[in-house]
């Protein structure tokens, strides 16, 4: 996981010289971070949603590698990697069995 974060930080810094926050969260142009997730890690968009009119949260995953990344994007096109990890477990389709009325 450390290698993934280091690579994403390097990618973000190479592509866009935007200062990171005090916690050194890797941030950059969304298109650059997404390109790194796709090309370097084989991750694809798995889902996401709006927090409000100021943020979109996205989950990017690779079922093959088992990696995942939580990306936050703001209206100005700047994205930050909030978290990443391994051992991603995709949700399996649920099969609901109807019971018998008693």
DSSP string across 39-55 = HHH--EEEEEEEEETTE
pLDDT, tens digit (0-9, with 9 covering 90-100), for 54-84: 999 999 999 999 999 999 999 999 999 999 9
Confirm whether 94 is domain-assigned: no
* Domains contained in the chain, number: 1
| pLDDT at position 25 over 90 | no
Which structural domain, as residue segments, surrounds residue 17? 2-85
User: For the whole prediction, is pTM greater than 0.75?
Assistant: no
Under 8 Å between Cβ of 14 and 4: no
More confident residue, 92 or 41: 41
Instruction: In whole angstroms, give the CA distance from residue 3 to residue 5.
Output: 5
Name the residue with higher pLDDT: 80 or 17: 80
Distance CA 88, CA 77 (A): 27
CA-closest candidate to residue 35, choices 13, 12, 57, 52: 12
Residue at 99 is within a domain: no
Beta strand pairing call for 27-29 and 44-52 = unpaired
* Residue 9 within any structural domain of the chain: yes
């Amino acid at each position: 996981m450390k290698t993934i974060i280091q690579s994403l930080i390097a990618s973000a810094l190479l592509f866009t010289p935007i200062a990171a926050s005090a916690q050194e969260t890797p941030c950059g142009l969304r298109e650059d971070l997404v390109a790194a997730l796709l090309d370097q890690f084989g991750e694809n968009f798995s889902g996401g949603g709006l927090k409000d009119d100021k943020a979109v949260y996205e989950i990017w995953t690779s079922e093959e590698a088992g990696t995942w990344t939580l990306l936050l994007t703001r209206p100005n096109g700047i994205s930050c990697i909030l978290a990443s990890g391994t051992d991603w477990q995709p949700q399996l389709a649920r099969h609901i069995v109807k019971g018998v009325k008693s």
